[in-house]
Amino acid sequence: MSVVRVGIVGFGTIGRRVADAVLRQPDMKLMGVVKITPDYKAKLALEQGINLFVPEKSIDKWEELGLKISGTVKDLIDSSDIVIDATPGGVGSKNLELYKKAGRKAILQGGEKKDVVESTVVPQVNYYEARGKMVVRVPSCNTTGLVRCIWGLKREVGVERVFAFLARRAADPADKKGGPLDCMELNPVRPPSHHGEDVKTVLKDLSIFTAAVKTPVTHAHVHMLLIKLSKAIPREDVVDILAGERRVLLVPENLGMRRTSDVFELSRHLGRPFNNIYENIVWLDSIYCDGEWVYLAQAIHQEAIVVPENVDVIRAMCTDVDAESSMNTTDIRLGIRKGIL
Ligand code: NAD
């Protein structure tokens, strides 16, 4: 089996999780990560055997702290087949020049604009669009969560229209700058929010309207979806379709699943790295059908949900592994669940 050499630029919320996931894949080798701040996270990464690469001008600072570095940003790019850029929104597009110059493939994240990449990919839907491409984007956590949930119903029954209302987390747990605190903020006040347009970068012909409010929590987004199917089907069939979807986990209220905090307790009990919940968590009892209309509510762990998608897009861009085999390997290696809890 050939092994894909992966470099990760940006070792924050998403980058460290993707690094962990790459380390768990049998057909990938983590060449190292670019880290710009010499801190405890760098020290622990070194203890784990992860090679650190840093901007050339900061090498002295790292050496003074006794933190071993393996080279510069350029060294990591040159030694990798593909770079996952997980820097803050907007930085990845600027870094593209470095990857292009070195002739390396790159995956950008949802904070980058869709027009700087060749394709936006959620593997369940359009894995093969990434094949042969040099620059692909994995969309945001909200977009990925919406696409995964709508896709099964669209594929199996047909979807005429979607209204999605998003209660967004204000900031990630480690984010010192985000907000709001002690209030909710319409985001934006004048709808639609940008999420619907972003969903259409993957589900291109979908008719979707989204609106969002930022809530003063850090752990998850909650999506409330109203989906008009092409024809009415029984609630059991809706449940069956969602229960059959990859990376979607239905949770029953009578097992104590009611709040986003329950979702996080679940991650701890599952013993997941970084308390990752890679799955869309759909509240089984929220699924309500009225003729062609389906309502449901789901929680999205913003820090983790795009991790399996990044892993699959690496395979789509760098190997000839087919979509199902890639997603099977990813899901097994990360212990991802589906069906009803
Ligand atoms: P983050 O701020 O947690 O991490 C970014 C890391 O990149 C930080 O460690 C920072 O020091 C480092 N960095 C900054 N400039 C750099 C540079 N020039 N070179 C190398 N490293 C640099 O950000 P994040 O939340 O991980 O977001 C990364 C991307 O993923 C963004 O596009 C974001 O929109 C997207 N995304 C974030 C989430 C989320 O909820 N956090 C979810 C899905 C997608």
Q: Is residue 123 included in any domain, yes or no?
A: yes
Atom of ligand 1 nearest to the CA of 41: 9
- Residues marked active site are found at 141
Residue type, 46: L
130 and 204 co-located in one domain: no
Q: Is residue 108 included in any domain, yes or no?
A: yes
Q: What is the structure's pLDDT at 2?
A: 87
The pLDDT-based confidence of 25 (bands split at 50, 70, 90) is very high
Q: Is residue 341 included in any domain, yes or no?
A: no
pLDDT at position 1 over 80: no
- Residue located via tokens 């989204």: 210
CATH of the domain at 262: 3.30.360.10
Q: How far is the CA of 253 from the centre of ligand 1 (A)?
A: 34
Q: Say how far residue 83 (Cα) sits from the centre of its chain.
A: 16
Q: Is residue 299 included in any domain, yes or no?
A: yes
- Taking the complete model, does pTM exceed 0.95, yes or no? yes
132 and 67 co-located in one domain: yes
12 and 134 co-located in one domain: yes
40 and 58 co-located in one domain: yes
pLDDT at position 83 over 90: yes
Q: Is residue 19 included in any domain, yes or no?
A: yes
Atom of ligand 1 nearest to the CA of 174: 3
Reading the block at residue 85, the tokens are 């850029």
**pLDDT per position as a tens digit, 254-304:** 999 999 999 999 999 999 999 999 999 999 999 999 999 999 999 999 999
8 and 39 co-located in one domain: yes
Taking the CA atoms of 67, 52, 31 and 140 in sequence, report the sign of the dihedral they define: positive
149 and 16 co-located in one domain: no
What number is the average pLDDT over the span 173-192? Answer: 94
Name the closest-CA residue to atom 44, ligand 1. Answer: 140
**pLDDT per position as a tens digit, 241-266:** 999 999 999 999 999 999 999 999 99
Answer whether 116 contacts ligand 1 (Cβ < 6 A).
no
The pLDDT-based confidence of 212 (bands split at 50, 70, 90) is very high
Q: What is the structure's pLDDT at 176?
A: 86
151 and 256 co-located in one domain: yes
129 and 182 co-located in one domain: no
212 and 245 co-located in one domain: yes
CATH of the domain at 62: 3.40.50.720
Range of the domain at 246: 141-305
129 and 66 co-located in one domain: yes
160 and 244 co-located in one domain: yes
| CB contact burial 169-199 (16+ within 10 A = b; e otherwise) | bbbeeeeeeeeeeeeeeebeeeeebebbebb
State the Cα–Cα distance between residues 186 and 167, nearest whole angstrom.
9
Answer whether 98 contacts ligand 1 (Cβ < 6 A).
no
Q: Is residue 340 included in any domain, yes or no?
A: no
